[in-house]
Structure 1
Amino acid sequence: MSMTSLTHIPAFHAVMTKGSLSAAARHLRLAQPTVRRHVEALEDELGVTLFTRAANGLTPTAMAETLLPFAVSTLEEAAALNRAASARADVLEGVVRLTASRVAATHVLPPALAEIGRQAPGLRFELAATDVAENLVQRAADIALRFTPPQQQALVAARLADVEIGFFAAPRLDLPADLTDLTGVPFIADDREAQMLPRLAEMGLSLPRNVVMRCDDPLAQIAYVQAGLGVGVCQVKLAQRLGLVRVLPDLSYPMPAWLVVHEDQAQVARIRHVFDHLKKTLGHWM
């Protein structure tokens, strides 16, 4: 592939992930005809058809679906190249890209990264807030906070203290003072993932019969707990900061946590500094 083709990959990726030329143009901050020209130029250079044209827009071909993972990998490597070039390896300046779950990105990392920023003002952060594990081997991020064991090779993983998860409600939620189980309380559960209720069963608990909200987004679950709709699960330390009331305090389960970095990045000063600081301080926040 020529270097010219590399300039067209963002347009192809944006159309595939955003669903249309217009959405891709907005995402890339380009004119729609420019995005179309990039896509057509990539098709010409590769000698393939990536999209079929119709009145209602572009439809990806099987070849486009096949090439998308390679486009993702190429863009991630290019972003890593830019981060690596943004600073010398031996000084605390430049970009560090992190990835974490949406709850951790919203409620756990902010005070930790703010403290790092005060200590090393030359650092800049990028954050992928996602509940999907980013690929550190392909440099989708420099550092990952994960709650599932890392599976990829060439990673340095520091096991953090388990995160205690419990049941919580807003102070305004009227619950019986002598509550002994979750059977009759208004309860907030997950939806299509269907993991929460089976886990309660594994703990030997009677399942809630009054599920008032089903939602797979953990940030939304916490918001509805805060609003007083029902009882839900939350990290214990986070719930305390949010002013929630613990329900059935004897019931809890540990969630394992890891801080992960690619072995090639582990000795880059800015990345190592952030990694070491997070390893030392995250236990205070989660």
Structure 2
Amino acid sequence: MFDWNDLKAFLAVARGGSTLAAAKTLRINQTTVARRIEALETSVGLKLFERGQTGSRLTGAGEDLLAEAERMEASASAFGSRAAAHQRGLAGTIRVTSTELIANLAITPALGEFRALFPDVKVDLIVTDRALDLAAGEADVAIRAGLALPVSDLVARKLGEFDFALYCSRDYAARRGLPSSVEDLRNHDLIGGDGASLPLPGMKWMLDQVPGVEPAHTSNSVTNLNIAVKAGLGIAPVGCLLADLEPDLIQCVPPVPELRYSAWVVTRPELKDTPRMRAFIDFIVPHFAALRRGLEAKGEAMKAEKAAAVVAFPKTA
């Protein structure tokens, strides 16, 4: 039977890309990490990583087992948090803020499980695309996404990274064709954001490629922007994690490396070690990891069908 510490090393190497990165995360030496990975591979009878000069890459078996390891991590975290709750008498309110998209996709569906674990902790969800001021007390914790976090005294824990690309609907592609290049966006309907209320770097990047072009449609909501793309109103930047799951959305321009988003859970330093805040953060981090892995797996299943659809649509010049 494998050791739970070996599984933690497996997860850390998978996320960090190397035994060195995993050693820093786990605060143990690199040799110990490598020994734990070897022990786990021996116990399961499988090679889990391909080792190279640039780091460690998951094998097919490793990729398949990663989701199970993340579920075990989430269960272990929940077990530990619940035991701690009995010891510390967890109670109180947490004001959590996020965008509507994140709230609907990731937070609200998880709150039932969180409430079952911590029945005396109440979560008040503040849904807005505006970044509330945690330092000023507008909320206690935020789930935020962007290219980088502003420099501040806030404490952040990274949840993951996400690609953005330009998408349109099948209906739009059938009527207007697909752009043959970024410059060809000038000949298409673009969906824009309404000023600071929709602070998507991908939006600015798209419009910067075709200076002087006015969007055919604008929205001040990320959720509504995605619906506008599905409705065939034009082309806009959409997160690949969700867009790849939509059979009616077609990728017009490949993911832009400089627009790769990250997501964090953020709170004030004086709150991070309070029992109810620690319980929420320790619960939501593995939940996000498992959710992302599941969405990526479903998205992969859609790619072949979408690739065939892209070939079928004409390119504009």
2:288 to 264, 282, 285: 282
- Pick one of 119, 126, 130 that aligns with 2:124: 126
What CA distance in whole angstroms lies between the structure 2 residues aligned with 1:168 and 1:92?
45
Structure with the greater alpha carbon radius of gyration: 1
**Unpaired segments ≥5 residues, structure 2:** 1-84, 296-317
Alignment of 1:146-225 (within 5 A): 146-147=144-145, 148-153=148-153, 155-175=154-174, 179-181=179-181, 182-193=185-196, 198-200=204-206, 205-206=209-210, 211-225=215-229
Aligned length: 197
- Asked if the contact 1:103–1:219 (Cα under 8 Å) also holds between the matched residues in 2, the reply is yes
| Paired position in structure 2 for 1:105 | 103
Distance 1:207 1:116 in 2: 47
Cα shift at 1:248:
2.7
Secondary structure of 1:266 counterpart: coil
Which secondary structure state, in structure 2, belongs to the residue aligned with residue 186 of structure 1? Answer: coil
What is the TM-score when the length of structure 2 is the normalising length?
Answer: 0.52
Q: Deviations over 1:173-214 (max 9, x none)?
A: 334666423333322112344965541366xx4569583202
- CA offsets per residue over residues 213-243 of structure 1, 9 Å max, x none? 0223222212211222222222222224454
Amino acid paired to 1:188? I
Alignment check: 8 A CA contact 2:189 2:215 kept: yes
User: 2-side partners of 1:91 and 1:277: how far apart?
Assistant: 17
Asked if the contact 1:189–1:215 (Cα under 8 Å) also holds between the matched residues in 2, the reply is yes
Letter in 2 for 1:229: L
2:137 to 113, 132, 139: 139
- Secondary structure, counterpart of 2:171 in structure 1: coil
Question: How has the CA–CA distance of structure 1 residues 189 and 103 changed in structure 2, closer, same or farther, with 3 Å as cutoff?
Answer: same
**Alignment map for 1:81-96 (pairs within 5 Å):** 90-96=88-94
Match of 2:262 among 256, 260, 267: 256
- Report sequence identity in percent: 21
Question: Structure 1 regions of 5+ residues with no counterpart?
Answer: 1-86
